[in-house]
Amino acid sequence: MEPTGQNPPQGNHTTLTGFILLGFSDVPDLQGFLFGIFLIIYVIILMGNSLIIIIIKVDPSLRNPMYFFLGNFSSLEICYVSVIVPRMLTDLCTQNRNISLLACATQMYFFLVLGATECFILTVMAYDRYVAICNPLLYPLIMNNRMCMQLAAGCWMTGIPAYIPFTYQIFSLPFCGSHQLNHFFCDVPPVLQLACGDTLMIEILIYVVAVLVVTIPFMLILGSYVKIISTILKLPSVTGRAKVISTCSSHLMVVALFFGSGIISYLRPKSSHSTGMDKCISLFYTIVTPMFNPMIYCLRNKDVIVALRKFLSKWIVL
């Protein structure tokens, strides 16, 4: 039997200068169709999140911690999808699927950093709702401007140093045999499939990082919402309960979509991985979820809807 975590050698070790991203080359007749679909989705993501950022900036009623973090989240979504989608659109359009090792490592690094940042910001947003609902009298004191800035900066900065050695370790592995990467971007699992030698330590490190960055924040969010729901049930006013539930439900939906797909992708057993399934899951948390997030926050938040109507009415009049 082969040792756990060791990929069998597929030939002589070679010094690779890059990979070929196979992407969706298995459906050649759909290249134009996929390009059009992904381009439309990308434009929707850019427009939807940019609109949220703008109305938060211009509307005085949205200048509070909750919408400050929502603005950060929308900015993050634009950066997050821009790491992957433009390159994918270029590959679909030009059919030039070559990517250098440096470009692949850079894409993976920024994807991991921004993914971790999203986990942290969603956790901070849950904490903000917990303080607002469970400790409303202390809310202005706890979530002051300085605290909000520190929390946001911590979310953006934490992953930057952490993923440099992680990415370096992956691309320090020897690669042998095929240099065809059967994915549409440089994600960790498909790159590891092309590595030779013992990858057990890297695989263990992936699980450790996934627990620290995905599982622990997810558990903190769940804990916050257990407290929030307990507090909501004690509210005497039905109208008050409905308003609080409406405010929190949009965040819960985003959390479920993002963390659910991320946990399935990185924490499920290696034996259950398949190329087609991995691509579908990756599409879900890299493109589909960011497309729905602005819609979720706009359609399920009355304050955002009112601010959006005011903003659009000004532009229509002009």
**Helix (H), strand (E), coil (C) string for the chain:** CCCCCEECCCCCECCCCEEEECCCCCCHHHHHHHHHHHHHHHHHHHHHHHHHHHHHHHCHHHCCHHHHHHHHHHHHHHHHHHCCHHHHHHHHHHCCCEEEHHHHHHHHHHHHHHHHHHHHHHHHHHHHHHHHHHCCCCHHHHCCHHHHHHHHHHHHHHHHHHHHHHHHHHHCCCEECCCEECCCCCCHHHHHHCECEECHHHHHHHHHHHHHHHHHHHHHHHHHHHHHHHHHHCCCCHHHHHHHHHHHHHHHHHHHHHHHHHHHHHHCCHHHCCHHHHHHHHHHHHHHHHHHHHHHHHHCCHHHHHHHHHHHHHHHHC
Residue 314 has a pLDDT of 77
- Do residues 157 and 121 touch, judged by C-beta distance below 8 A? no
Residue 269 maps to a domain: yes
Task: Output the domain CATH number for residue 108.
Answer: 1.20.1070.10
pTM: 0.87
Residue 239 has a pLDDT of 67
Residue 10 has a pLDDT of 46
Residue 1 has a pLDDT of 37
Q: CA 42, 48, 53: angle at the middle one, nearest 5?
A: 125
Residue 83 maps to a domain: yes
- When divided into structural domains, the chain yields a total of 1
Residue 300 has a pLDDT of 67
92 CB burial (10 A radius; 0-12, 13-18, 19+): buried
Residue 9 has a pLDDT of 47
Residues of the chain with pLDDT under 70: 1-16, 177, 238-240, 243, 246-247, 266-275, 299-300, 316-318
Q: Tokens representing 206?
A: 């992936």
Residue 179 maps to a domain: yes
Residue 14 maps to a domain: no
Residue 23 maps to a domain: no
Residue 240 maps to a domain: yes
Residue 275 has a pLDDT of 64
Parent domain of 87:
28-313
Q: Tokens representing 29?
A: 């007749």
Residue 85 has a pLDDT of 94
Residue 204 maps to a domain: yes
- Facing residues of 181 across strands? 21
Residue 220 has a pLDDT of 94
Which residues touch 148 (CB under 8 Å, ≥6 apart)?
65, 68, 69
As a whole number of angstroms, the distance between CA 235 and CA 238 comes to: 8
Residue 162 maps to a domain: yes
